[in-house]
Structure 1
């Protein structure tokens, strides 16, 4: 069994320590460690975190391999410091049966760069009319515990209630894309001053907030778990905060782009800024940051949404919604949360590893950096600062809103169960 000695790393941003990996596990954490024959990585004060976990990734396979594959998506994940990702169900065919989720799971096993946990669809074909095979997907080799129609809202209250009741039997969770469809017909961006000036159809905050309010009440009534995908408004924060104060079992995520970017960028009409839910106002951004800091929002999830060039390099109205995010997420979180003093690195580990792993029941991930734990780790050069160049992305797609933007931090190493998947910023 191979050994790796990481020397002088700031574990969760603390004082420099040495970390010894033996095979697939962490053997020891301390000072002045040594191991004969071990490969030595000089951390030089870089930050060592548990491997990141993304509860919201689009890997596109099967069906849209022109955008991404499980292999290219997991390579992008490893480049961004992730060791486990949850793959959304809006593939072609939809991941609404045991057969499809097992296919995605096996492709993840074969990739070797990152563990992949499929998310099962809530309804057949994402059509919102009939529950999918939730039990069969859970009992499959993939062991699905998270279900979502992401990309579409489970808008029927009866269907949502039934889904919450069904997953309660095995402590599963329904992850809701909160978007009332009747309120967002023809929506192109956030409804507000900018949309009025540009003449673009507005996506009102109430379309998100009303669904969240309904679903936390349903979760309370049923006694089940509900997770809110890509929460984006100040009003949504207040609803989740109220629900948690009542003891409702609700968790919520925020994307990196909703922590940094605002609807003012849409004035450029550059479709790279077109996303669902849309970029909101500066007030919303500040509320989201504060909520992530105080724990009202539980986790950061990328909503990595790759698209081929032709689907984004077109007029605004025809462009697909979505942004890639796996390879820039940690940098954006450092920019918005760490460098602003809202979170320390231990807080980043909590929001980007510990809690998402707990919500998704990701065995072996989101564990402390301590002896006996799986060696799923990421090393970050927090002092680095440089421009984002999508030409160097491992993802098959390049639809990033950060091209040419200077961001802090760079993942230099990632280990999956002790095996290096990224070394000195290069995939192995």
Structure 2
């Protein structure tokens, strides 16, 4: 009998979103925190759900992260997530923490939930206090529904400098039951997570204990959200939350379950899709860039090397200028802190080999430029140090990135 790799059992739902899994509703409204766009959103599960979260590793962390941590620690369950854009509620001291708790408790009261069943997330300008009158007005306006329009309203409410909403949905059969997983995210600048401004929300109708869901999310994050970079800056508010409400009716998934690898791959696929959409929508970006590193001694080394290359401003600007300057790639590799033999390095831009075993290769500048002018660019690096590989995603660095961030508060 043919052995099917877990990836082959996972199907993308092309019109799916964060509400495609059973038992979830969402909403998004304009409360006046932003000039005209939606700025308060909520995800609501029909029942308390198992949950998991990862947070920014920045020493400077926003108040909503503390509140969400406390909510999860109280009972290892969540039923709602309330989110605002326009204000990060970061570096706001005791008042900021008080406001985040008030935001949580007000939402809980509005929807008849216990306080600790609600998580809070915020994104926007650092160092500004929440306009709580508008926040509470927005929460009172929320009417979570189960529809594509409701999902889009939520996706829009969480955006800041993003130019597009970000969502995806995948399905797999686990334990004989069809499991659905949907996601929504925001992120465009300050993207260099270590777990950008990056928020990710994932829902699934799978049955799983919170501790096992956390195990899966922590392992997947290192291969997905932590492997994207736009500008090298990590936000104070980065957070990814997963809710699993068990409405698919499957036997609980755990590491000892025969389909555990399929569940983890389902989560990885969902996270990777959202991560790539964030990278593609980097502030001012015109191209999505993928860096594939092969031939390192350890997976961690391969991942670190890929992210170092992708994080190089010189590599990013070369891609923007459609310049096949492979010297910028190997220069970035040299400052990675990882040990390798430069005489064994090979580099390609897509199908165009420019360095082979440490020796420059004659190539057509016209063909290379034509390739680099495309919207999706892949840089391949081979080191011959081992068998492990790693991938990172990012975008080009453009004039518009400077324009956007030079006037971010205006």
TM-score w.r.t. the length of structure 1 is 0.24
Q: Which has the higher contact order (CA 8 A, sep 6+)?
A: 1
Larger radius of gyration: 2
What TM-score comes out, normalization by structure 2 length? 0.25
